Structure 1
Amino acid sequence: MDTTDKIEDLSSNAPATTIATEEREQDLRLYAVLRSDIQISSGKAIAQCGHAYVQTFIAALADRDPRSEAYARLTPGTKITLDGGSLTNLIALRDKMVSRGIPHALITDRDHLELPDFDGSPTVTALGIGPITRSDARRLLSRLPLWGAARSRGGAS
């Protein structure tokens, strides 16, 4: 059995490089990027992260992205939650994922009440990204803090 795969470097237009499959698979992660410009309880934030992880993984599987099968072998797999800031930032990040062909899913909460920002109308809450490698994430997501870091320093609540 061949232990190498052709994996495209998503950060450039360079041709695919050959990297040991096992090494590359161990480096895959899913990301949930949450909005911090809305008031959201811890429980709702956790639920929205769950939706983001699941939906982006399902999207990757549906697109037959080879990273999805590799990630599935990493039970339970690494999942990281980042602070995406505003809706505008989340949409810009989604557009970046689209342009680079990276699996993603925009999460919209609807029909649930948690005032003042959740009144039952559709509200974009998160962006799921991945699976992507740690190195690709560093290039694409490095400016985003971990979720909760700003909150623990007295930032948004």
Structure 2
Amino acid sequence: MGLVTSNSYFVFSMGTFIGAATTYFITRLKHKPKEEIWINGMDDKYEFKVPTDEYRLIIGVRNDLKMQKGKVAAQCGHAAVAAYVKCLKQNPKVVKNWMRFGGTKIALRIDSEEEMMALDKCAKEFGVLSSVIRDAGQTQVAPGTRTVIAIGPAPKSVLEKITGHLKLY
């Protein structure tokens, strides 16, 4: 009886060890760290390489709507997220370059909806992604109002051709 009992403990111990080792190695291989856009795009000290043609995101804010600061901030947030998601799906390399340069976002003043739509058309002509944000209309503006546009991310030299005439918000 003693021989059988000691043998089953040995078998049980070996099975447990092999199972644990197998699980460890499978999870290590399965969850191998992938290249993270945010982490690899910037170093820990947030010191960025000197850009030869920095990537940026332009956010055009309609000035004619006279939105309050908080509303403008929320709309710009919507625009930045929409631009990021759209670009991540369509051109992840551009997102990586944008993050490498710090994810720069610049808010510019737009005087009307017509000017916003002209910028959207111009961005498309240059092959730059753009996202027009419509408000839900629960606070300050009517439902469906186009409040901001995100243009990019794209190289600074290209964005200058599209939005170089606009002033800071």
Q: Provide the TM-score with structure 2 as the length reference.
A: 0.65
Asked if 1:141 is matched to 2:141, the reply is no
Runs of 5+ unmatched residues, structure 2: 1-48
- Aligned residue number for residue 104 of structure 1: 130
1:36: Cα distance to partner? 0.9
Whole-angstrom distance in 1 between the partners of 2:68 and 2:79: 16
1:22: Cα distance to partner? 7.6
For each residue in 1:11-54, what CA deviation from the matched residue of structure 2 results, as whole angstroms up to 9, or x when unmatched? Answer: xxxxxxxxxx9845x61111110111112000000111111111
- Aligned residue number for residue 128 of structure 1: 150
For each residue in 1:100-147, what CA deviation from the matched residue of structure 2 results, as whole angstroms up to 9, or x when unmatched? Answer: 210111100114122xxx14x211001001111222222221111000
Q: Which has the higher strand share?
A: 1
Aligned-residue CA RMSD in angstroms?
A: 1.9
Asked if 1:49 is matched to 2:71, the reply is no
In structure 1, give the amino acid aligned to 2:97: A
Are 2:58 and 2:152, in contact at CA under 8 Å, matched by a contact in 1? Answer: yes
Q: Identity of paired residues, percent?
A: 28
Stretch deviating more after TM superposition (46-55 or 86-95): 46-55
Whole-angstrom distance in 1 between the partners of 2:152 and 2:86: 9
Are 1:53 and 1:129, in contact at CA under 8 Å, matched by a contact in 2? Answer: no
1:69: Cα distance to partner? 2.0
Are 2:137 and 2:145, in contact at CA under 8 Å, matched by a contact in 1? Answer: no
Higher Rg = 2
**Superposed, which structure 2 residues align to 1:25-40 within 5 Å?**
27-40=54-67
Runs of 5+ unmatched residues, structure 1: 1-20, 148-157
Whole-angstrom distance in 1 between the partners of 2:124 and 2:100: 25
**Superposed, which structure 2 residues align to 1:5-44 within 5 Å?**
23-24=51-52, 27-44=54-71
For each residue in 1:27-86, what CA deviation from the matched residue of structure 2 results, as whole angstroms up to 9, or x when unmatched? Answer: 111111011111200000011111111111211111125311221334x42110000110
How many pairs are equivalent?
Answer: 121
**Superposed, which structure 2 residues align to 1:44-83 within 5 Å?**
44-74=71-101, 76-83=102-109
